[in-house]
Amino acid sequence: MRTRFIITILLALIFSACSLVTQAPLPTETLQPVIKPTFTELPAKSMSESKNVSTPESESTATMQSWNNMPLNLPDISIHAEKADFITLETSANLHEVETYFLDELPSQDWLVIENLLATKTQFDGEAIFMRFLKDSDVNCVLIGSQAGKSRTTLTVATINFCSSLRKVADELRTEFWLLPKSETWKLLTLPEMNISYPST
């Protein structure tokens, strides 16, 4: 089940990338549910092993501290896939510990949280969180997923080039509507064309 979860995310990202190259993006309503393939387990690479492996597709190497300027100092990380625009990992931290880590760590490094959505039910009987972060002209996003009865949490971090694809994967993964975070503090955003605040008070 854990392997299917990881494979589903990876295949969906690859298929989304191919569709972005060959055609205009499809509207979300026309997407079909993600197929759950059955494959043998991907070999997980430890952080120390990944430092010594360089692939032509990879522009940055994950370390214990970060990937593509995103902090990744999470416990017991294993890498399942690393490309130039995304990395898929597993950690022993649970879904909400990973969320809290990003919400605490990224603002301290001047990243602004611009999206934080929770789905309390997924195709794999777990939860999913989709987060998007902005820092100057950089945009990174994270899909965090858990599975019922599994102690490890899967997360995919993507650059702006793959954030739309990762969001589509997240939308197909969930089986319930996204929930807004309960404890999030939203501030007033002022632009020349508009003023937005949430909550309205």
Residue 100 inside a domain? The answer is: yes
Residue 49 · residue 75 · CB < 8 Å: no
- Prior bond to 71 cis, omega within 30? no
Report the distance separating Cα 166 and Cα 128, nearest Å. Answer: 12
Q: How far, in Å, CA of 151 to CA of 89, rounded?
A: 14
Compare 38 and 17 and report the one with higher pLDDT: 17
Lowest mean pLDDT among 47-56, 94-103, 133-142, 182-191: 47-56
* Assigned domain for 9 exists: yes
Please state whether the predicted TM-score (pTM) of the whole model is above 0.75: no
C-alpha dihedral, 19 to 25 to 27 to 30, nearest 10°: -20
β 86-91/153-159 pair status: antiparallel
Q: 20: domain range? A: 2-196
In one-letter notation, the amino acid at residue 182 is: K
* 135 part of a folded domain: yes
Residues 118-136, mean pLDDT to the nearest whole number: 93
In a domain? residue 201: no
Q: 97: closest CA among 74, 114, 76?
A: 74
Total structural domains in the chain? 1
Instruction: Give 105's pLDDT tier (boundaries 50, 70, 90).
Output: very high
Domain contains 37: yes
Q: Quote the percentage of the chain above a pLDDT of 90.
A: 44
Give the pLDDT of residue 2. 61
Cα separation, 108 vs 3, whole angstroms: 34
Decide if 177 is inside a domain. Answer: yes
